[in-house]
Amino acid sequence: EDQVTQSPEALRLQEGESSSLNCSYTVSGLRGLFWYRQDPGKGPEFLFTLYSAGEEKEKERLKATLTKKESFLHITAPKPEDSATYLCAVQARGYNKLIFGAGTRLAVHP
Amino acid sequence: EPEVTQTPSHQVTQMGQEVILRCVPISNHLYFYWYRQILGQKVEFLVSFYNNEISEKSEIFDDQFSVERPDGSNFTLKIRSTKLEDSAMYFCASSENRDSTGELFFGEGSRLTVL
């Protein structure tokens, strides 16, 4: 069965303290892996798409990487406005649906 | 910036009542979706819709659920006879084309409370 596991469940950082979020996945043929950001009471907001092992994408303080079994979202020198829940999702070949993980709740304190 | 809009933002209903949730996807997008998120749980896929028909649906999307695109702009989710376990945030989403079906633009959600 296709599934996504994210760790840690919650992460508290000081402003400027870099860290990484993990997304482990099992899927019967990966079509794509996606990172989303979700603020409280809002819909998820698309961040990155990764298609194959070794691929990396960057946007401001965020960098996403992919291996054959997991993806990492690296946050460099985070700011309080980076506080949110970060969701990882996979899409299997032949399907449109996304399978989401439970997310990592990130809190960045000044 | 174009966005997906959903109404109502919050609906309270009695068990057994019919509910219709409405969405206006981004105008040039071709694929439309409904996802839901029960409080404290994962975002779950319900259904995808392309070319005026359902292209994919989950086990959750049983006979109590239906979707429709009644005109060129609206996309609706109907729950025929609501149950307590249908209480959740329902998100509408759209994507531009076949190559970007994982790059979803989500609406703000409709919170459904079934009493």
**Token couple for A27:** 């899927």
Give the pLDDT score at B97: 85
Provide the mean pLDDT of chain B. 95
Q: Is B45 within 8 Å of A31 when comparing Cβ atoms?
A: no
* Mean pLDDT score, A6-14: 98
Judged by a CB distance cut-off of 8 A, whether residue B43 touches chain A is yes
* Confidence class for position B1, pLDDT limits 50, 70, 90: confident
Contact partners, residue B88, CB within 8 Å, separation at least 6: B36, B37, B38, B39, B111, B112
Q: Is B105 within 8 Å of A46 when comparing Cβ atoms?
A: yes
* Residues facing residue A37 across a β-bridge: A45, A86
- Asked if the model's pLDDT at residue B2 lies above 90, the reply is no
Q: Which of A44, A96, A101 sits opposite B55 (nearest CB)?
A: A96
* Residues facing residue A90 across a β-bridge: A33, A99
The alpha-carbon gap from A32 to the nearest alpha carbon of chain B, in Å, equals 7
Give the pLDDT score at A86: 98
Of the ranges A90-94, B10-14, B43-47, B99-103, which one carries the lowest mean pLDDT score?
Answer: B99-103
Contacts B31 to A, Cβ<8 Å: 96
- A17-26 pLDDT tens trace: 999 999 999 9
Give the pLDDT score at A6: 98
> Which one-letter DSSP state was computed for residue B91?
E
d(CA B111, CA B76): 15
Share of chain A above pLDDT 70, in %: 100
d(CA A76, CA A67): 20
